[in-house]
Structure 1
Amino acid sequence: MPLLSTPTRAEIAGVGSALPLRRVDNAELAAQVDTSDEWIVERTGIRSRYIAGDGETTATLATDAARRALDHAGIEASDIDLIVLATATPDQTFPATATKVQTALGIRDCVAFDVAAVCSGFLYALTVADAMIRSGGATTALVIGAETFSRILDWEDRATCVLFGDGAGAMVLRASDDPDRGILATKLHADGRYNDLLYVDGGPSTTQTVGKLRMKGREVFRHAVTNLAAVLGEVLAAAGLTSADVDWVVPHQANARILDATARKLGLSPDKVVVTVDRHANTSAASVPLAFDVAVKDGRIKRGDLVVLEAMGGGFTWGAAAVRY
């Protein structure tokens, strides 16, 4: 496929998502863990999550989401020349899970790699794909967030295991000269000083084990509200917009209280915030594209709407994007 010779804009051509077959509500979880539906809902807003079963992996969920995004865009898999997959739970240490998706889609040759920025991973992947399209390095990209976080949870730690779920979301980006659609601006940040507030206690070069997720929730909450409000302001300023111009905010679905606090800090109506954490829990890098797909498919997000995406995750990493859908 010929590459564009001049910089252009990346527009969202289609979206898709995928969830495991098994849905686990709070009552089922309370039968296995020392918790209750009331405790979980009051502190997080979560009522259910999906847990991957036998044969369901990060790659299979990513592939299903990608196929649905391609169908929604009306684009053939053979047109894809770039796959960027955000995940903290790859199928293997290497090769990249993106290459497994490439093979499953029947794409014989394209650029394919993973991005690891935990819950902010999709924003990082989107920024990379956008930059490659703008530079002429790609014309049609699959950007995917996919996770099987259930496999790195400590199911005896009730403070963390109730928060997460599995899933995948995907976007098809394509080069466009349409001035009324596309990714307007992105902003990314990282601060590794806060590693010990949210991390996995394993890894190939340290423990030679996968490890389990560890989190100091109260401290993470405090940083999340401050950082997300700041980066949303940054990305709007970069796009020459204000919060009054925003039709929808699609945030990382970590905790309903974080979503509410961030909206208040920006003076945004809660009615403009897409919330799916109640049904999906925190799906890490998958949460933003999964929530975006839900809101597109149920008719809330429409063509021409200004949508702001944001997320913060372990690292800390955080970021935002302003998009004219």
Structure 2
Amino acid sequence: MGIKTKLHSVITGTGSYIPKNIISGNAFLNASFYDNGVKLEKENTEIISKFSEITEINERRYIDEDQISSNIAAIAAQSAIDDAKIDKETLDHIIFCHNFGDVKSGSNRMDILPSLAAKIKQALQIENPDCVAYDLIFGCPGWVQGAIQANYLIQSGDAKRVMVIGAETLSRIIDPHDRDSMIFSDGAAAVIFEAQEDEEPLGIIAHKTQTYAATHGSLLVMGKSNNPDEQNGNAYLKMNGRKLYEFAVTTVPQVVKKAIDKAGISIEDIKIVFIHQANGKMDHAIMKRVFKLYGLDTVPENLVPMTISWLGNSSVATIPTLLDLVRKGKVEGYKITKGEYAIFTSVGAGMHINAFVYRF
């Protein structure tokens, strides 16, 4: 008898769109920040400096006024198709991961009719009716969950090629009177997963997802402006930063460990970690605790590439954008090596946590 091969979900193409509008801390010097309806007395220079120190965010990117999420996602999607060198008509699924749909400049109204995935299929002019396009709403961990769904589709034998997109334009739904608004950014990225047969472990090896809605579902919600004089009926992205930080550093390491243990490998086998670019301080604390769970006191150098300092937090777009940049040699000190193991992990509204182990 010959060696039995297995189906694996392998990344064959990536693409991203990074908006050209660079928003530095200076853009918030004239902002009026409030907390619980009371205007903050501290100087904005101090507020901005402290924010940057805690989050490691110095810049973020915003889209142009005439752009929307599906526009920038279509650019990233075409780039991924070109990178994979495939016929777009051979895609079996398009999974678009987002949270707020298309939001036009000057508006707070979300548009998801038709679904953003359908808009991408239309923009790319994919005619094949067997290419199924749908959206996934899963908070910041949406793209990671989309990749896990792609793996299920491929391993079932029902799909051979799945494109998973992560795109968000958070600049359109943030409260200008909320300090936390300085965290958020815009961006888009797309990744193509393909079925490959091999006796060796490849692609997504193991994964784990958890949802803590009952106890922590209100840490990220939509709410009114911090400014009591601007109650115009609009809803803005709101988060309980302190509680979210505590939740993430406590629970994410456990989920990462479950995925690694499920894969049957050692923490030392992990050579690169693609973690959601949420908050620099938080991400470092998470990684330190992951290694602590294995009795190790230090995180190896050049293990965790970071883009948050210049790209900010673009929600579902952070991880696929980071992957695309590393694959194409655009993150100094990091590269992808065939045969090495990686971790992809995220946390966000829901509250959802997920992780998967991947072998390049």
What's the TM-score once normalised by structure 1's chain length? Answer: 0.92
Q: Would you say the 8 A contact 1:263–1:270 is kept in 2?
A: no
Q: Secondary structure at the match of 1:62?
A: helix
Q: Secondary structure at the match of 2:141?
A: helix
Q: Does 1:322 align with 2:343?
A: no
Q: Would you say the 8 A contact 2:8–2:201 is kept in 1?
A: no
Q: Does 1:167 align with 2:187?
A: yes
Q: Distance in 2 between matches of 1:294 and 1:31?
A: 33
Q: Would you say the 8 A contact 1:260–1:270 is kept in 2?
A: no
Tell me the residue number matched to 1:12.
11
Aligned pairs, how many?
A: 313
Aligned residue runs from structure 1 range 1-325, under 5 A: 8-32=7-31, 35-36=44-45, 37-91=48-102, 92-108=111-127, 109=129, 110-158=131-179, 160-178=180-198, 179-193=200-214, 194-201=216-223, 211-267=235-291, 268-298=299-329, 300-325=335-360
Structure number with higher helix proportion: 1
The residue identity in structure 1 corresponding to 2:64 is G
Q: Deviations over 1:78-112 (max 9, x none)?
A: 22110011100212233210010111111112111
Q: Secondary structure at the match of 1:320?
A: strand
Q: Distance in 2 between matches of 1:297 and 1:47?
A: 23
The residue identity in structure 2 corresponding to 1:15 is T
Q: Distance in 2 between matches of 1:274 and 1:190?
A: 26
Q: Would you say the 8 A contact 1:13–1:73 is kept in 2?
A: yes
Q: Distance in 2 between matches of 1:173 and 1:146?
A: 17
Q: Deviations over 1:123-181 (max 9, x none)?
A: 111111110111012111100111011111001111x1100000011110011013343
Q: Which runs of 5+ in 1 are unaligned?
A: 1-5, 203-208
Tell me the residue number matched to 1:3.
none
Return closer, same or farther for 1:98/1:210 CA change in 2, 3 Å cut-off.
farther
The residue identity in structure 2 corresponding to 1:175 is A
Q: Distance in 2 between matches of 1:189 and 1:141?
A: 23
Q: Distance in 2 between matches of 1:28 and 1:54?
A: 17
Q: Distance in 2 between matches of 1:214 and 1:187?
A: 27
Q: Larger radius of gyration, structure 1 or 2? A: 2
Q: Secondary structure at the match of 1:238?
A: helix
The residue identity in structure 1 corresponding to 2:71 is T
1:290 deviates by: 0.9
Q: Secondary structure at the match of 1:293?
A: helix
Q: Distance in 1 between matches of 2:32 and 2:79?
A: 35
1:33 deviates by: 5.2
Q: Deviations over 1:281-325 (max 9, x none)?
A: 111111111111111111522333211000000110110011112
Return closer, same or farther for 1:32/1:53 CA change in 2, 3 Å cut-off.
farther
Q: Secondary structure at the match of 2:183?
A: coil
Q: Secondary structure at the match of 1:11?
A: strand
Q: Secondary structure at the match of 2:235?
A: coil
Tell me the residue number matched to 1:206.
none
Q: Secondary structure at the match of 2:145?
A: helix
Q: Secondary structure at the match of 1:229?
A: helix
Q: Distance in 2 between matches of 1:195 and 1:15?
A: 32
Structure 1 moving runs of 4+ over 3 Å: 31-37
Q: Secondary structure at the match of 2:218?
A: helix
The residue identity in structure 1 corresponding to 2:219 is L
1:31 deviates by: 3.9
